[in-house]
Amino acid sequence: MTCYSAVIVGGGAAGLTAAVFLARELKNAGSVLLLEKQPRVGKKLLATGNGTCNISNIHAAPARYHGAPELAKAVLSQFSPEDTLAFFETLGLECTTRPDGKCYPVSEQASAVLDCLRLELSARGVEERCDTAVLGIKKGKDGFLLSTSTGEVKAKTVLLAPGGAAAPSLGGSSDGYALLTDLGHTRTPLFPSIVQLRTDTTFVRSMKGIRVDARISVKTDREVKAETGEILFTDYGISGPAAMQVSRVAADWERQKREDCVAILDLFPEREEQELFTLLKRRTSLPGRTCENFLTGFLNKRVGQTLLRSIGKSPNAPVTDLTDRDLKQLAGQMKNWVFPVTGTNGFGGAQVTAGGIRANEVEPTTLQSRLVPGLFLAGEVLDVDGDCGGFNLQFAFSGAAVAAKGMLSLLKGRQV
Ligand SMILES: Cc1cc2nc3c(=O)[nH]c(=O)nc-3n(C[C@H](O)[C@H](O)[C@H](O)COP(=O)(O)OP(=O)(O)OC[C@H]3O[C@@H](n4cnc5c(N)ncnc54)[C@H](O)[C@@H]3O)c2cc1C
């Protein structure tokens, strides 16, 4: 049986990138094998950024990472967003950085990212074996024996890059954690992040499909996280980039089955409540208005109607019925509209997994397992999750570069 120098488990962002680094150095054809359980590699990569792939973020700093931010710091300090963009340039992929720091391929096609990785892998003779799920890994005296759904594989070094549990329709699963716990590793609790919020539906339902710019805060008895940006009302709750960005707090709360969690919307983050009151007061002199269209021209019509309903005003009531007390309540609601959170859309709707293999079980300089020498880990399987905005792919690419370097120095020490 062939013994590969490096076997990579998982043909996702981290696995494909590591394969390029390994194949560039291990020049003997057939020394790198990539195993992927799905019919094709890179399925999740193709879905990133709604198909445009937010490949990195030049503001990737430890504060944008959770779980084990110290591991993110160690990994990113060895391979930065700038290194990532330079690496992809060597693959022929041109990227552009937007004013907010988010980086995208200039073609705005996630498929271009995958194509460029695969073209290089094919040119360098990396063997790609799809429809092959790794079921178990054993460490022997001379290396590793992997049992897979298509037979056994021998390897001198192994990179486990199987991703996390998020987005099962794109290959997300708990496989990687199971493979690693069988080898003695442990993990922190898993929960979804960058996920839609489920809320009480009394008011959101009537605003379904409407996008607004707002400040959203998710608040529990222990934590509060806020973000300003686009939110989307849905029939089950609140989605959109800003809601997804603060969802980690709600998902962690949901996991712990604690008491209250609320999402609070500030529809006018730039304005004071008193200013809104004055403005509303002025609007009461507009001719021919009822509560149904009192806010028309100031707010999205359906949002305005729902706001008035939320303070108990019937649509047909004349505007003259609105007292100063009502207007104050309305201005307050515009700044502090509270939606009780009932949960999240779970791993099925999530972009990333929070939690994972404990950071203290890997060497931060190489991502080699401290328990199983010769085994390396990269990507979402580790206990690091980033904010929405290119941070998660960046961690996957950085981890791939660091682990590949560690594998190469181990292999070179063994004179492969
Ligand atoms: C819809 C969506 C949009 C996203 N958009 C962005 C974005 O724009 N920017 C960003 O930074 N992040 C984004 N993310 C997050 C990002 O895609 C992931 O964090 C990243 O892909 C993780 O890389 P990975 O290599 O660790 O795992 P993955 O890319 O998930 O790859 C793991 C691979 O391993 C395979 N595998 C698993 N178990 C086995 C096994 N036992 N045997 C063989 N193969 C196995 C899986 O099938 C999969 O192909 C998005 C995620 C989703 C779901």
* DSSP per residue, 309-325: HHTT--TTSBGGG--HH
Question: Domain boundary residue among 297, 327, 344?
Answer: 344
Ligand 1 mean position to 122 CA, how many Å? 21
Q: What is the spatial distance between Cα 121 and Cα 94, in angstroms, rounded to a whole number?
A: 18
228 lines ligand 1 (CB under 6 A): no
The pLDDT, as a whole number, for residue 29 is 64
Is the same domain home to 279 and 208? yes
Ligand 1, atom 3, residue with closest C-alpha: 48
Question: Ligand 1 within 6 A of 113 CB?
Answer: no
Tokens at 407, concatenated: 């594998």
> Distance between CA atoms of 344 and 347, rounded to whole angstroms?
9
Cβ(391) to ligand 1 under 6 A?
A: yes
Per-residue confidence (pLDDT) for residue 141, from 0 to 100: 85
For residue 163, give the ligand 1 atom closest to its CA.
Answer: 27
- Number of domains present in the structure of the chain: 2
Residue 415 has pLDDT above 60, yes or no: no
Which atom number of ligand 1 is nearest to the Cα of residue 170? 53
pLDDT tens-digit series, residues 342-357: 999 999 999 999 999 9
Are 169 and 107 found together in one domain? yes
Q: Exposure of 29 by Cβ count < 10 A (0-12 exposed, 13-18 middle, 19+ buried)?
A: exposed
Q: Is the pLDDT of residue 98 over 60?
A: yes
Give the three-state DSSP class for 182. helix
Say if residue 211 is in the same domain as residue 273: yes
Mean pLDDT of the residues in the chain? 95
Determine the residue of 34, 43, 48 to mutate for testing ligand 1's pocket, defined as the one with the most ligand atoms within 8 A of the Cβ atom: 48
Helices (H), 343-390: 346-349
Say whether 81 sits in a helix, a strand or coil.
helix
Q: Are residues 61 and 13 in the same domain?
A: yes
Structure tokens at 278: 């004055």
113-126 pLDDT, tens digit each:
999 999 999 999 99
pLDDT at 259 over 90: no
Average pLDDT over residues 367-372: 98
Closest CA relative to residue 61, chosen from 391, 402, 401 = 391
Lowest mean pLDDT among 205-209, 222-226, 277-281: 222-226
CA 103, CA 140: separation in Å to the nearest integer?
A: 42
In the predicted model, what is the mean pLDDT of residues 244-265?
A: 92
Identify the H or E element spanning 212: strand 211-220
Q: Is 69 in the pocket of ligand 1 (CB under 6 A)?
A: no
* DSSP string for residues in 42-78: -HHHHHGGGGT---EETT--GGGEEESHHHHHHHHHH
- Measure the N-to-C terminal CA separation of the chain; round to a whole number of Å: 17
Contacts 24+ apart (CB under 8 A), 301-307: 302/206, 302/207, 302/210, 303/207, 303/210, 303/212, 303/267, 305/206, 306/203, 306/206, 306/207, 307/333, 307/334, 307/337
pLDDT in tens, 175-194: 999 999 999 999 999 999 99
Give the residues across from 274 on adjacent strands.
Answer: none
The strand pair at 237-239 and 384-386 is best described as unpaired
Same domain, 60 and 204: no
Please say which residue of 295, 310, 344 terminates a domain.
Answer: 344
Q: Are residues 41 and 173 in the same domain?
A: yes
Q: How far apart are CA 178 and CA 165, in angstroms?
A: 11
3-state class (DSSP) for residue 278: helix
DSSP lists the bridge partners of residue 226 as 217
Angstrom distance (rounded) from CA 352 to CA 346: 10
203 and 315 housed in the same domain: yes
Going by the DSSP 8-state scheme, the letter that residue 196 receives in this structure is P
Q: Determine the structural domain holding residue 245 and report its residue range.
A: 196-344
Q: How far is the CA of 162 from the centre of ligand 1 (A)?
A: 8
Nearest ligand 1 atom to alpha carbon 43: 49
Segment 244-264 shows an average pLDDT of 92
Task: Say if residue 416's pLDDT is above 60.
Answer: no
> Average pLDDT in the 376-405 region?
98
Ligand 1 within 6 A of CB of 49? yes
Per-residue model confidence (pLDDT) at position 70: 98
Local structure of residue 188 (DSSP, 8 states): P
Ligand 1, closest atom to CA 57?
11
Residue 234 pLDDT = 98
328 and 238 part of one domain: yes
For residue 92, give the nearest of 117, 128, 110 by alpha carbon.
117
- Residue 345 Cβ < 6 Å to ligand 1: no
Tell me which residue has its CA closest to atom 35 in ligand 1.
10
Q: Indicate which atom in ligand 1 lies nearest the CA of residue 48.
A: 5
Per-residue confidence (pLDDT) for residue 337, from 0 to 100: 98
Does ligand 1 come within 6 angstroms of the Cβ of 38?
yes
Question: What confidence tens digit (pLDDT) does each residue in 303-331 have?
Answer: 999 999 999 998 888 898 899 999 999 99
Choose the final residue of a domain: 317, 344, 371.
Answer: 344
Atom of ligand 1 minimally distant from the CA of 16: 25
Name the residue with the closest Cα to ligand 1, atom 23: 13
Q: What is the structure's pLDDT at 76?
A: 98
Report CA(65)–ligand 1 centroid distance (Å): 17
Residues 32 and 132 grouped into a single domain: yes
Which CATH number belongs to the domain containing residue 184 in this structure? 3.50.50.60
Q: Is the pLDDT of residue 199 over 80?
A: yes
Q: What is the C-alpha separation between 226 and 216, in angstroms, rounded?
A: 5
- Provide the pLDDT for residue 314: 87
Model's pTM, two decimal places? 0.95
Q: How far is the CA of 220 from the centre of ligand 1 (A)?
A: 29
> Could you tell me if 181 and 200 lie in one domain?
no
Ligand 1 centroid distance, CA of 239 (Å) = 21
Residues 6+ apart with CB under 8 A from 412: none
Q: Are residues 314 and 357 in the same domain?
A: no
Cβ 158 vs Cβ 146: under 8 Å = yes
43 shares its domain with 77? yes
Output the CA 245–ligand 1 centroid distance in Å: 18
Partners of 9 in the beta sheet?
A: 35, 160
> How many whole angstroms from 185 Cα to the centroid of ligand 1?
21
Q: What is the pLDDT of residue 414?
A: 63
54 and 389 in contact (C-beta within 8 Å)?
yes
